[in-house]
Structure 1
């Protein structure tokens, strides 16, 4: 082997393989530009196999992994890039981006500093460095003054009577503090026209739902009555106009037309406030017909990076974001439908002995950011894999679980099926693990770039499943992650 004084030792590569590797890389670049990221990853891998000494190949594959939200794989590739060539700036930049996506802010800050030092003229990097430093400093400050989150109860300090509604306000109003279907329909029309409801009514909606959620266990039992149906929807990610289209094709929530929205209501899409207020309003109106599961994006750290915190502050206030944050911690983590179908946002666990009672008894209060390795974290973050057993998460959080893991879990708990979300799918849904694990994703043309369909699942009282898929609909000219400060361009 030849010793590289700057990086790792490099194996000799023939000129023929170098040429073939470049051809594979160029093919991968074309696939990447066509947004065919999985195929691009395969071609970058081919290039790496032919020539493992080119830092650019790892950095390019890291970027493709970022596009598929495989942030754990992206970090690994970026690290390989800087080991191969410690002077390769893009490797540090890709690692910073992947660590930002994982909310590893200190690690990202270190790499942004390296990039800024190597290229001091890049104003975009300087801005990202400053923003990342601000986040790290804020987190350190919050730790220094922190108290038990259970004692931090902003909800009890809000005096609705002290919030006046100006006579010039011409939007929908809550009469006597009570929610009505007419109010919600007027509110959706208001949102559709890019208007806001008064902050007093927004606070009332959030407070009412928070009170409901505090009374629920972490695993909620759902029963579908006769002559009713339950619709399970996956991630909607602030895509309000596609969210409205779900109601257009499947009907508005009602006592007979039940819904379970399975997490990731907010972030990425720039109409997250409109989505979450509509969902909360319907939950308030139909508490036993509308169900909401917490997703990995209903957490503070993700909201800092992916836009929801910035959006709430821009449209309302920091106080309202804090109230949303408190409410997100109260959201249930799972639902069991007719005692036979478990619905969670992410997936299963790193151990085999988990029971439904273990899920039901998770103390979800006081943990705004789920701890790595906890049942709660794995519920929100894990993904299925085709191979048996368990593997490290491509995301860098949670695990990947195989068909045998699913089978054992279902058998142990006497249930038939796992429905989860968390992953974009080309056709909106996919059935895996011998029909025992279903992924449903309800944000079509995710982030205005992926081109996927959205899907939903209608479930009858006798647990028959019917799938509907749908395309994206037009929305106002507001880009995804428009409120994500300096970091929107890293992931879109």
Structure 2
């Protein structure tokens, strides 16, 4: 019991690796198949879950169920793991099994309803153009259905409604029709004055996201730009407002607006940190101001499967109330974020995405990849989107050049497998995020050949002591400048 109490305390503090070690010690002490073991396995599964190690989390949850087939929490954990790893049908099965054990659990019923709603969302998909026009307040002859409010209740003790009357930021209806200087001041002021409570009023948010969504909806999931310009490449920010401000100390907004430079963000704006909503709103403003020079890609956390579990949804509930439809609106917008950008200069070619290279499909050229027909509504069985959002490079020899990922989705690939892919596709470099980097620059040359880079921009991510960084890439020459984000 003493070990359990200490492990639980470490879990509450967010020290998940230590919690895992303590739960493992408790499991070793107990006799095999002891029902208390089921609790420790399930708790360890939860710690793995919080670290995004869904493969190990699943193994532990399955062991807990095997030891105690009546253990409700283990079925609940399995359902959450399946949801996060895009196995929605399987998740529903585990929720139903949990429901049989508990009987009339309101919490389980709510989750079953929410998951069923998500699974049926494609069938009931609103015309995105009309949806975003409706958000902006543009009249339409046809009825435009607002997204349904999820039946799932608030996470924690958050209010059903929030008084927004004191919020002061004003977003113009037509950002692109305003002078660039005014757009710049809007973005600068938002970055300077935003606080935990002082965010966009929901009506202003609707207008901004309506325009933002319209712009994104005109971009293919896999797209290309031709440019010899310089690019700032930003990795995962994960709700860290401090790091966002550090980034734009390095990127002077006024100079950026008057230059030909461009910005690429590799996804994972939300979750983990406390200010994911502030960050996506800021980048939405930049995109609306300069749609051809600001490129925002989707991360695996810009999906309802993950952002309902790792912090974004509770943040929205606390800001706008649990009865608002802001979460549904934001996930509609996230759905429009592209998955891959190819930057083609006169002499070089660069691929940008969040997770990993699409190695499983046998592509022979970038053009073939770009012309692949994939849906922005992520299909659980689509291997291309799964790899682009979830895969990682290997950091140790595993005796194979491709294997299943510890994340439970996607793959791990070797340097040799990547080099064959890059040579065949005539790709000079790739830039991706997705993994915390412990190099002192926040940038990692994954295979040591200057062709495969991981960029992670959130410092001290989950209290791990890392330093964030961004890259400045000269597309014409291939020069890579690593820019470290000094801690404030």
TM range, smaller chain = 0.7 to 0.9
Change in Cα spacing, 1:103 to 1:313, as seen in structure 2 (3 Å) is farther
Q: Does 1:132 align with 2:111?
A: yes
C-alpha distance in 2 between matches for 1:47 and 1:404: 41
C-alpha distance in 1 between matches for 2:105 and 2:464: 29
Counterpart in 2 of 1:334?
Answer: 340
Mean CA deviation greater in 151-160 or 380-389: 151-160
Counterpart in 2 of 1:363?
Answer: 373
Change in Cα spacing, 1:259 to 1:290, as seen in structure 2 (3 Å) is same
SS in 2 for 1:295: coil
Whether the aligned pair in 2 keeps the contact of 1:154 and 1:322 (CA below 8 Å) is no
Counterpart in 2 of 1:377?
Answer: 386
C-alpha distance in 1 between matches for 2:198 and 2:386: 36
Residues 42-101 of structure 1: CA deviation (Å, up to 9, x unaligned): 897899899994646654553442232111221122213332454666644543443354
Change in Cα spacing, 1:138 to 1:220, as seen in structure 2 (3 Å) is same
Counterpart in 1 of 2:424?
Answer: 412
TM-score (norm 2): 0.74
CA positional deviation for 1:282: 0.9
Q: Does 1:99 align with 2:82?
A: yes
C-alpha distance in 2 between matches for 1:224 and 1:52: 65
CA positional deviation for 1:347: 0.6
Mean CA deviation greater in 234-243 or 404-413: 234-243
C-alpha distance in 2 between matches for 1:471 and 1:48: 41
SS in 2 for 1:305: coil
CA positional deviation for 1:376: 1.9
Counterpart in 1 of 2:185?
Answer: 182
C-alpha distance in 1 between matches for 2:402 and 2:19: 25
Paired residues for 1:290-329 under 5 Å: 290-309=294-313, 311-312=315-316, 315=319, 318=324, 320-329=326-335
SS in 1 for 2:189: helix
Counterpart in 2 of 1:402?
Answer: 414
Change in Cα spacing, 1:127 to 1:271, as seen in structure 2 (3 Å) is farther
Counterpart in 2 of 1:245?
Answer: 246
Residues 140-165 of structure 1: CA deviation (Å, up to 9, x unaligned): 6646xx24565784123345368xxx
Change in Cα spacing, 1:160 to 1:409, as seen in structure 2 (3 Å) is same
SS in 1 for 2:224: strand
Q: Does 1:234 align with 2:248?
A: no
C-alpha distance in 2 between matches for 1:364 and 1:193: 37
Mean CA deviation greater in 31-40 or 423-432: 31-40
Structure 1 unaligned residues grouped into runs of 5+: 1-21, 474-492
Whether the aligned pair in 2 keeps the contact of 1:62 and 1:77 (CA below 8 Å) is yes
C-alpha distance in 2 between matches for 1:334 and 1:223: 16
Q: Does 1:206 align with 2:192?
A: no
Structure 2 unaligned residues grouped into runs of 5+: 140-163
CA positional deviation for 1:39: 7.7
Whether the aligned pair in 2 keeps the contact of 1:445 and 1:472 (CA below 8 Å) is no
CA positional deviation for 1:406: 0.7
Alignment: residue pair count: 438
| Matching residue within 277, 284, 289 for 1:285 | 289
Counterpart in 1 of 2:472?
Answer: 458
| Matching residue within 465, 469, 482 for 2:484 | 469
Whether the aligned pair in 2 keeps the contact of 1:445 and 1:471 (CA below 8 Å) is no
Whether the aligned pair in 1 keeps the contact of 2:432 and 2:454 (CA below 8 Å) is yes
